Structure 1
Amino acid sequence: MDLAGVGVWSSQLRYGDQGQAAEAAAELEELGFSALWIPDVSGGILDSVEHLLSSTKQAVIATGILNLWMNEPAEVAARYAALTEAHGERFLLGIGVSHAPLIDSKEPGLYRKPLAATRKYLDDIDATAQPVPVGNRVLAALGPKMLELSATRSRGAHPYLVTTDHTRYARAQLGAGPLLLPEQTVLLTTDREEARGIGTDWLRSYLALPNYRNNLLRSGFSEEDVTSVSDRLFDAIIAWGDEETVVRRVREHLDAGADHVCVQVLTADPREFPHDQWRRVAAALG
């Protein structure tokens, strides 16, 4: 499973029109993106993985992340085995605990002891008849304990909404060997007002979640930075500007210890497949 280079992280591939998603996945593979990453906030993600595997020939399809509260370990392991048999080893299983406000809104009190819950989930997968190989799974990880678990119980870590400084920190925590696969949000506009108009509310929705907020505070941002979505924080999280700005940020992650960077493109319409922006990024990456 080749995870070198750059991938695409896309909610549209997961929740958009599935005919368009199939066409987009095939084009993204043709453009040279090595992996396609999709989120899971509602369950049923394995059907989307199957659809994207069927729509591509070589690209890795990765969950970023499969929500462990919404997917039974035995079912995940069985489906993983079936999908791998049908499509080869192109399915990277990213597993995560999501966020307490999201999980508890549907079932109050369900979200608890995230580290222990992740460890038990891995134990349960490993106890199935056809466990997901350790080398074909990664964990959503931000803090030191989850990063350590990523290094010992999976192939590595998939941090989301992070800075290049966090990538450097995560590499130090993981040590040499485990994969480090951060997400990087980008906006192709050189107009700060336009960038802020598109990205501020998007970013604020994530900063309301304790996991992300606490990670940024650990990373050296102030309460004021987080509460106000300061320019300093905005610029560190979102790479906005021309194509060279995006390429430069990707290289900064790689120089800081990332093995692969998955790029998420923001546009004014979050439901829109950003075909033009994907093409521009691919051309700039060469």
Structure 2
Amino acid sequence: MDLDLGRIGIWSLALTHGDRAAAGEAAAQLEEMGYGTLWLGGNPGGNPRGDLVTTAELLAATKRTMVAPACVSIWHQPARALAAAYHALPSPMRDRLLLGLGVGHPRTDQHYHRPYTSLHDYLGDLDGLPAPIPRTARLLCAHGPRMTRLAATRAAGVQPHLTTAAHTAHTRELLGDGPLLAPSVSVVLETNPGAARAAARTALAPYLAQANYANNWLRSGFTADDLTDHGSDRLIDALFAWGTLDRIAERIVERLAAGADHVAVQVVADPTYGFPLAAWRALAQALPLRNAVGRVGVGGEQLLSNP
């Protein structure tokens, strides 16, 4: 299966947990705006609606756009049940589906244990089924080096969340050429530094207490002081793109220049499960959603051209 994610997609908690009728309407509008992939933030596998019902609804609401749950928790979806739900979808829907698989967080999931081994074994369970989920139809939601190397051989690629451009470049080195690298970038459409950082800190708060995220930030060169008091300005400014539309677009394009194949853009919005259509539309005008050139090296003069 050839993946056609486009260069830019939208990552949204509302697409997973928001009002279902509004989610379908938003999905259709996002497709019309030119976004290549809809990333279902949160934990679709832990959604009370279960399996891939929410994903199927958004696939039905669109015609061309890829839909990617990011991420389905391996603790909530046994491999056999997930594969059965996947193959129950019509073939045209499966062609536009990329399943993100993840292990969640140690502080919030009572089943969490031996994350690397558990995910490795889960992929083995998927591969051992009579009707497995193809490697090309699954992505690992992870940011550590071991998980990244696992993604390079056992999945289509990896989606890291809340990382830096330098992390994207390092992840590309670990993956090598070929595997998909689709980091998410969280953005705040606010030019006032205090207001922008305050909104970013609210969005970051649930992750600051998670050891797996903290360890990744420490590996990326931040210190323990950066992780205290709701996150330092240095941490916030590295993890979140804020400012003018042009500045935010530059920060997103920076990820493509660093080696990403695709960037999943999360608009930090209030309420969390709302649909910031005006913001998505404004970004669509500023970002290279169609006719983008291919990957370029870091520091390359030519990045992307607007349509």
Q: Tell me the equivalent position of 2:244.
A: 242
Amino acid at match of 1:81: H
Change (3 A) 1:40 1:74: farther
Amino acid at match of 1:118: L
Amino acid at match of 1:209: Q
- Describe how 1:93-132 pairs up with structure 2 within 5 A: 93-104=99-110, 110-132=111-133
Amino acid at match of 1:202: A
Q: Tell me the equivalent position of 1:263.
A: 265
Conserved 8 A contact 2:152-2:175: yes
Structure 2 distance, partners of 1:146, 1:84, is 31
Structure 2 distance, partners of 1:14, 1:86, is 21
Q: Tell me the equivalent position of 2:152.
A: 151
Q: Deviations over 1:15-62 (max 9, x none)?
A: 110000000000000100000001343242511101111111010000
Local SS of the residue matching 2:139 = strand
Conserved 8 A contact 2:116-2:147: yes
Q: Tell me the equivalent position of 2:58.
A: 52
Q: Tell me the equivalent position of 2:77.
A: 71
Instruction: Calculate percent identity across the aligned residue pairs.
Output: 42
Structure 2 distance, partners of 1:85, 1:268, is 36
Gaps of 5+ in 2: 289-307
Q: Which has the larger share of helix?
A: 1
Structure 2 distance, partners of 1:265, 1:77, is 31
Structure 2 distance, partners of 1:267, 1:46, is 25
Q: Deviations over 1:156-190 (max 9, x none)?
A: 11101111010001001111111100000001010
Structure 2 distance, partners of 1:242, 1:30, is 23
Gaps of 5+ in 1: 105-109
TM-score calculated relative to the size of structure 2: 0.89
Local SS of the residue matching 1:135 = helix
Amino acid at match of 1:51: E
Matched, 1:281 2:287: no
Structure 2 distance, partners of 1:240, 1:273, is 19
Local SS of the residue matching 2:162 = coil
Could you list the structure 1 runs, at least 4 aligned residues long, displaced by more than 3 angstroms after superposition.
none
Change (3 A) 1:84 1:159: farther
Conserved 8 A contact 2:191-2:243: yes
Local SS of the residue matching 2:119 = helix
Change (3 A) 1:45 1:277: farther
Equivalent residue in structure 1 for 2:6, among 4, 7, 20: 4
Structure 1 distance, partners of 2:41, 2:10, is 12
